[in-house]
Structure 1
Amino acid sequence: MEQLTTIIFFIVLVSVIVAILSIRYTVRLRRYLEEFIYVSKKISNKEFQSRLNLSVQGELGELAKNFNEMIEIMDSTISEVEYSHLQMTSILKSISHGILAIDIDGNIMLINEEAKRMLKCDCDKPIEGTNASILINEEKLLKEIVSFKGSKKNKRKEIRINDDLVYKISLDPIYLQNINNIIIGSIINIQDITEKVRLENMRSDFVANVSHELKTPLTSISGFIETLKLNENIDQYTRNRFLDIIESESNRLKRLIDDILLLSFIENKDNVLVDSVCIYEVFMEVYDMTSYIAKSKNIKLTYEFSDKSIRVFSNRDYIKQVFLNLIDNAIKYTPENKDVHINVGIKQNSIVISVKDEGVGIPEEDIDRIFERFYRVDKARSRDVGGTGLGLAITKHIIKYLGGSINVKSELEKGSEFIVTIPQKNFL
């Protein structure tokens, strides 16, 4: 009996010890699980700096160690992805062209701000992941993008949106990495080439106009020389008249070439010599040069300076050319017995030069074009008065070099006023 009691006591004791150990282990395990849950929640909230802080051995300790290492790898990987995304976003933002990538179904994968502007995207809606046909409001570009979807061929095209806007669109397929026959989408590059097209058209027009302007006097000179060579018995009066025409056409060619060279020199402004230039002194040189022409037409040429000491930091010949072109034009296109007035003053920290005449005036539809090379409102009259068609183009380039502006007020048969504004940064 005593032996049975001992056995029972031993069994109860072992059971109690096992129960205590089990309870203790369960409590510890629960605490560890709570720690796991707490840290995992922080990780799910992107708090990747969180770590399991458990002092435990065995398999549970190995699990805690592996969990912490997994967090570190996730943190490092996500940081790399975020940095790569930041780089890509910065690159896209810095590109001056519009960049758009769409998947095989036409959904937008990425797009930069310039592309949003060019494509007139509805930015109130989510961009990435939305179908391009829903977001893009520029119909001509959308038509090209949709038609290219899924194509394996590259495509280049110039699209004229309107009279003032030309885009060059490049469409290229996007292939799955290392697999050349699986297309996952398209990349679209949109470039605004309006200015380039405008300059190409100007260059083409310039070459055509120069050829025409040179051909006319050269044909005249050649014809009269041929006539003189073939007719030795021409009377002295006729011979001298022909020679006068040859001389006049030669002078016209010289003026034209001089103006072309001057315009080229102004446009290539890398080696321009600048100095302190007194506006009044330069004006008086031009006044002395043009006053006799005004007197020959009985035109009253007057001027007014609010400050004769005004100086600018510029090329002296540039300032002289501005005065010469504007005053010479005013005299040429003003009838006899009329007035031309020049006013120079300072207004709102800018030098303002006004040349006002009582001439034939300029039609309203021509005012925006008179600064184009070789553009003439009245071609026949311009040639009669000796114009090359480059004077106002030269003037505009000089004013642009000075950072200023030139405006025109005109009314037919009542006269014109050219107003030049030179900003304060050129003052001395």
Structure 2
Amino acid sequence: MINDKISLYFALFSHELKSPLNTIINSAKLIELNIHNSDETKIKRYLSLILSSALYLKTFIQNTIEFGRISFDREELYIEEFDIIEVLYEIVDLTKIMIEEKNIEVEFNPSQKEFYITSDPIKIRQILLNISSNAAKFTKEGYIIFTIDEKKDGVLINVKDTGCGIKQEQLDKIFAPYCSLEKRYETLCESSGLGLFITKQLLFFIGGDISIKSEYYKGTEVEIFIPSKRR
């Protein structure tokens, strides 16, 4: 069964790449056509599409690579001290790019300027990018709010959105690999079925945890615990 789903995933791989690649190519062509007209509004719009599509490709490819590492037990940790607040600001900026011109407010107002933790910054970036990508992808209007709270042995990061939400009967399945592949194949919705699976696996490697609360058509709230040592 798992081999059939792996085959389905890689069969869809080329399709997943086509849409963002076409957007990048077509937007670049439109910039070329409008560059002499000095129409800054149009050029900024096309650049936004290019950046958004490139970020989607980056996330999709990174998840595919992580899936391969996990499948073959080749995952490694690279532990160092870094500022998690700075990383979150990076993710917030990327989220603003991903929402393009949607009517969405992205908020992040931490109570402190910096907070150093000891963990794997590469994996944490991928975890947060996966969560923010979902929020940006499935929210049409409203808000995406990032918060961070200090805990005794780590930090708790919360990402709340006003997106389409998840049906209650599907909440127990969202961390399973390929949970949305069949639907993806039938409806061509933008989901490879690996994002949350990869996220949970990466959190397992760093000793963290994730929980999701969601109400269909009203929004989703994701809590991520990242264990750490203070400097």
Which consecutive residues of structure 1, in runs of 5 or more, have no partner in the other structure? 1-203, 222-250
Question: Of 413, 419, 426, which aligns to 2:217?
Answer: 413
The structural deviation recorded for 1:364 is 1.1
From the superposition, tell whether residues 394 and 219 of structure 1 become closer, same or farther in structure 2 (CA, over 3 Å).
closer
* Aligned-partner SS, 2:225: strand
| Cross-structure match for 1:211 | 7
Give the whole-Å Cα distance in 1 for the aligned partners of 2:156 and 2:125: 15
- Provide Cα deviations, 1:156-200, integer angstroms capped at 9, x if missing partner: xxxxxxxxxxxxxxxxxxxxxxxxxxxxxxxxxxxxxxxxxxxxx
- Provide Cα deviations, 1:370-418, integer angstroms capped at 9, x if missing partner: 0111212993498433x32111111111211221210111111111100
Question: Of 317, 321, 346, which aligns to 2:122?
Answer: 317
CA contact (8 A) 2:83 2:116 kept: yes
Give the whole-Å Cα distance in 1 for the aligned partners of 2:178 and 2:168: 18
* Aligned-partner SS, 2:68: helix
- Provide Cα deviations, 1:298-353, integer angstroms capped at 9, x if missing partner: 211111323332122222211111111111101111123x1110101113543110
Question: Of 173, 178, 200, which aligns to 1:369?
Answer: 173
| Cross-structure match for 1:260 | 64
Is 1:308 the counterpart of 2:113? The answer is yes
Pairwise CA RMSD: 3.2
The residue type paired with residue 214 of structure 1 is F
Structure number with higher relative contact order (C-alpha < 8 Å, ≥ 6 residues apart) = 2
Percent identity between the two aligned chains: 30
Question: Of 182, 186, 206, which aligns to 1:402?
Answer: 206
- Provide Cα deviations, 1:80-131, integer angstroms capped at 9, x if missing partner: xxxxxxxxxxxxxxxxxxxxxxxxxxxxxxxxxxxxxxxxxxxxxxxxxxxx
The structural deviation recorded for 1:367 is 0.9
The structural deviation recorded for 1:368 is 1.5
Which consecutive residues of structure 2, in runs of 5 or more, have no partner in the other structure? 18-54
Q: In the TM superposition, what are the counterparts of 1:93-108 in structure 2 within 5 Å?
A: none
Is 1:353 the counterpart of 2:168? The answer is no
Q: In the TM superposition, what are the counterparts of 1:25-424 in structure 2 within 5 Å?
A: 204-205=1-2, 207-216=3-12, 258-265=62-69, 268=73, 271-336=76-141, 338-376=142-180, 379-380=183-184, 383-385=188-190, 387-423=191-227
* Aligned-partner SS, 2:126: helix
TM-score, normalization by structure 2: 0.71
CA contact (8 A) 2:120 2:206 kept: no
CA contact (8 A) 1:279 1:309 kept: yes
From the superposition, tell whether residues 347 and 257 of structure 1 become closer, same or farther in structure 2 (CA, over 3 Å).
closer
Give the whole-Å Cα distance in 2 for the aligned partners of 1:218 and 1:286: 27
From the superposition, tell whether residues 208 and 339 of structure 1 become closer, same or farther in structure 2 (CA, over 3 Å).
same
TM-score, normalization by structure 1: 0.40
The structural deviation recorded for 1:256 is 5.1
Give the whole-Å Cα distance in 1 for the aligned partners of 2:214 and 2:15: 36
CA contact (8 A) 1:299 1:339 kept: yes
The structural deviation recorded for 1:283 is 1.5
